[in-house]
Amino acid sequence: MTKTPLMENHVREKIIADPEMLLEDQDIMQALVAANEQSMGTNIVDLRGIAMERLAARLDRLEDTHRSVIAAAYENLAGTNQVHRAVLRLLDATKFEDFLSDLAGDVADTLRVDAMRLVLESSETAADPAVKKMNQILNVVEPGFCDQYITQGRDIPVRPVTLRQTKTEDEKVYQEQADYVRSEACLKLDFGDGRMPGMLVMGSEDPHLFTPQQGTDLLTFFGGVFERTMRQWLG
Q: How confident is the model at residue 6 (pLDDT cuts 50, 70, 90)?
A: low
Mean pLDDT of 93-113: 89
Which residue range(s) make up the domain with 197?
95-234
Q: pLDDT tens digit string along 124-149?
A: 755 555 556 666 788 888 999 999 99
Cα–Cα distance measured from residue 226 to residue 91, given in angstroms and rounded to the nearest whole number: 9
Q: Determine, yes or no, domain membership for 193.
A: yes
Q: Determine, yes or no, domain membership for 44.
A: no
User: For residue 123, what pLDDT is reported?
Assistant: 81
Q: Determine, yes or no, domain membership for 149.
A: yes
Distance of CA 117 to the CA centre of its chain: 20
Sheet (strand 183-189) strand order = 138-141, 115-121, 198-204, 183-189, 161-165
Cα–Cα distance measured from residue 109 to residue 115, given in angstroms and rounded to the nearest whole number: 9
On whether the pTM is more than 0.85, the answer is no
Q: For the stretch 22-36, what's the b/e string if a residue is b when 16 or more beta carbons lie within 10 angstroms of its beta carbon?
A: eeeeeeeeeeebeee
Q: Determine, yes or no, domain membership for 15.
A: no
Q: Determine, yes or no, domain membership for 19.
A: no
Question: 161 by DSSP, 3-state: which?
Answer: strand
Q: Determine, yes or no, domain membership for 208.
A: yes
User: For residue 1, what pLDDT is reported?
Assistant: 46
Work out how many domains the chain is built from and give that number: 1
Q: Determine, yes or no, domain membership for 148.
A: yes
Share of the chain above pLDDT 90, in %: 35
Mean pLDDT of 103-109: 90
Cα–Cα distance measured from residue 108 to residue 173, given in angstroms and rounded to the nearest whole number: 16
Question: Contact at 8 Å (CB) between 104 and 134?
Answer: no
Distance of CA 196 to the CA centre of its chain: 31
Give me the CATH number covering residue 210: 3.30.450.40
Nearest CA among 227, 219, 220 for reference residue 197: 227
Q: Determine, yes or no, domain membership for 177.
A: yes
3-state secondary structure labels for all residues of 164-203: EECCCCCHHHHHHHHHHCCEEEEEEECCCCCCCCEEEEEE
User: For residue 178, what pLDDT is reported?
Assistant: 83
Q: pLDDT tens digit string along 43-65?
A: 555 666 667 777 878 888 888 88
